[in-house]
Structure 1
Amino acid sequence: MPETKTRWDIFCTVVDNFGDIGVTWRLARQLVTEHSLAVRLWVDDLRAFERLCPQIDIHASQQWQQGVEVRQWMADWQPTEAADVVIAAFACQLPGAYMEAMAEREKPPLWMNLDYLSAEDWVVSCHGLPSVKYKQVQKFFFFPGFNQGTGGLLRERGLLERRQQFQQDPEAQRLFLQGLGVDRAPGAQLISLFAYENTGLASWLDAMAGDATPTHLLVPEGRILGDVERWLGVEGLAAGAVHVRDALTVQVLPFVRQDQYDLLLWSCNFNAVRGEDSFVRAQWAGRPMLWHIYQQDEDIHLDKLEAFLALYVKGLSGPAGEAISGLWRAWNAGEKMTDHWRSTRKHWPELEKHAQAWCLEQALQADLATALVQFYLNWI
Structure 2
Amino acid sequence: MLWDLFCRVIDNFGDMGVCWRLASDLGQRGHEVRLWVDDPSVLSWMAPQVSWQHDPSLGMETGCGQPGVTVCHWADAESLPADITAAPHPLLPGDVVIEAFGCDLPEAFVARMQRPAPPHWVNLEYLSAEDYVERSHGLPSPIWHGPGAGLRKRFFYPGFTPATGGLLREPDLLTRRAAWHDGARQVWLQRHGIPWTPGERVVSIFCYANAPVADLLTQLSALSAQPTSTDEFAAPAPLTHVLLAHGHATQLAQAWLSTAPKPPFGVHLHPLPALPQPEFDHLLWSCDLNFVRGEDSAVRALWAGKPHVWQIYEQDDGVHADKLNAFMNRWMAEWPADVRQQVTALWQGWNGLAPLPAALPDWTPDRAPWARHTLMARKTLLKQADLVTQLVQFVSEAG
* The 10-residue stretch of structure 1 (142-151 or 326-335) with the greater mean CA deviation from structure 2: 326-335
Q: Calculate the TM-score normalised by the size of structure 2.
A: 0.86
Q: Which amino acid aligns with 2:139?
A: L
Assess if the C-alpha contact under 8 Å between 2:96 and 2:121 holds in 1.
Answer: yes
Distance 1:244 1:81, change over 3 A: farther
Whole-Å separation in 1 of the counterparts to 2:354 and 2:330: 23
How far did 1:22 drift? 0.9
Partner of 1:43: 37
Work out whether residues 47 and 58 of structure 1, in 8 Å CA contact, stay in contact via their aligned partners in 2: no
Question: Is residue 2:160 matched to residue 1:150?
Answer: no
Report matched runs for 1:220-239 at 5 Å.
220-233=245-258
Q: Does 1:137 align with 2:148?
A: no
Per-residue CA distance 1:311-334 (angstroms, 9 max, x = gap): 112121111101000000011117
**Which of 24, 44, 48 is the equivalent residue of 1:54?**
48
Distance (Å, rounded) in 1 between the aligned partners of 2:131 and 2:353: 26
| Contact 2:203 2:242 (8 Å CA) reproduced | yes
Q: Distance in 2 between matches of 1:178 and 1:252?
A: 13
* Whole-angstrom CA distance in 2 between matches of 1:126 and 1:82: 26
Alignment of 1:22-171 (within 5 A): 22-34=17-29, 36-57=30-51, 61-67=61-67, 68-74=69-75, 76-79=78-81, 80-103=91-114, 105-133=115-143, 134-166=148-180, 169-171=181-183
Match of 2:243 in 1: 218
Deviation at 1:151, TM superposition (A): 0.5
Q: Bigger shift: 301-310 or 331-340?
A: 331-340
Task: Give the Cα–Cα distance (whole angstroms) in 2 for the partners of residues 263 and 244 of structure 1.
Answer: 29
Q: Distance in 2 between matches of 1:146 and 1:230?
A: 37
Taking a change above 3 Å as real, the CA distance of residues 85 and 186 of structure 1, as seen in their structure-2 partners, is closer
Q: CA deviation at 1:273?
A: 0.4
Aligned-residue offset at 1:9: 0.3
Query: Given that residues 320 and 344 in structure 1 are in contact (C-alpha distance below 8 angstroms), is that contact kept between their aligned partners in structure 2?
Result: no
For 1:180 and 1:82, the matched residues in 2 are separated by 43
Taking a change above 3 Å as real, the CA distance of residues 51 and 298 of structure 1, as seen in their structure-2 partners, is same
CA distance in 2, matches of 1:178, 1:246: 21
Distance 1:325 1:107 in 2: 49
Shift in Å at residue 349 of structure 1? 1.1
| Partner SS, residue 291 of structure 2 | strand
2:14 maps to what in 1?
19
Name which of 194, 200, 205 aligns with 1:193: 205
Residue 361 of structure 1: how far off its partner (Å)? 1.2
- SS at the partner of 1:322? helix
CA shift, 1:344, in A, is 4.7
1:269 alignment partner in structure 2? 288
Aligned letter for 2:15? D
Matched residue SS, 1:233: helix
> Which of 162, 166, 175 is matched with 2:187 structurally?
175
- Using the alignment, how far apart are the partners of 2:169 and 2:376 within structure 1? 16
Contact 2:137 2:155 in 1 (8 A): yes
**Secondary structure at the counterpart of residue 193 of structure 2:** coil
Structure 2 SS opposite 1:280: helix
1:7 pairs with 2:2:
yes
Q: Which has the larger radius of gyration?
A: 2
Out of 260, 282, 290, the position equivalent to 2:301 is 282
Corresponding residue SS for 2:368 = helix
Unaligned runs of 5+ in 1: 1-5, 235-242
* Cα pair distance change 1:378/1:337, threshold 3 Å: same
Partner SS, residue 63 of structure 1:
strand
CA distance, structure 1, for counterparts of residue 335 and residue 251 of structure 2: 35
SS, match of residue 55 in structure 1: coil
TM-score of the superposition, structure 1-length normalised? 0.90
**RMSD of equivalent CA atoms:** 2.0
Residue 84 of structure 2 corresponds to: none
Shift of 1:252: 0.7
- Output the CA distance in 2 between the equivalents of 1:145 and 1:199: 25
| Structure 1 position 314 matched with structure 2 position 314 | no
Distance 1:192 1:117, change over 3 A: same
Of the structure 1 ranges 9-18 and 69-78, higher mean CA displacement relative to structure 2 is found in: 69-78
Q: 1:153 corresponds to which letter in structure 2?
A: L
Q: Could you tell me how far apart the structure 1 residues matched to 2:362 and 2:288 are?
A: 13
* Gap change, CA 1:52 and 1:9, over 3 Å in 2: same
User: Counterpart of 1:352?
Assistant: 371
- Give deviations 1:260-295, integer Å, cap 9, x for gaps: 111111111111000011100000001110001111
Quote the Cα distance in structure 1 between the aligned partners of 2:117 and 2:218. 61
Instruction: Give the Cα separation in 2 of the matches to 1:338 and 1:261.
Output: 28
Identity among equivalent positions (%) equals 40
* Residue among 307, 310, 320 paired with 1:291: 310
Aligned-pair CA distance for 1:56? 3.3
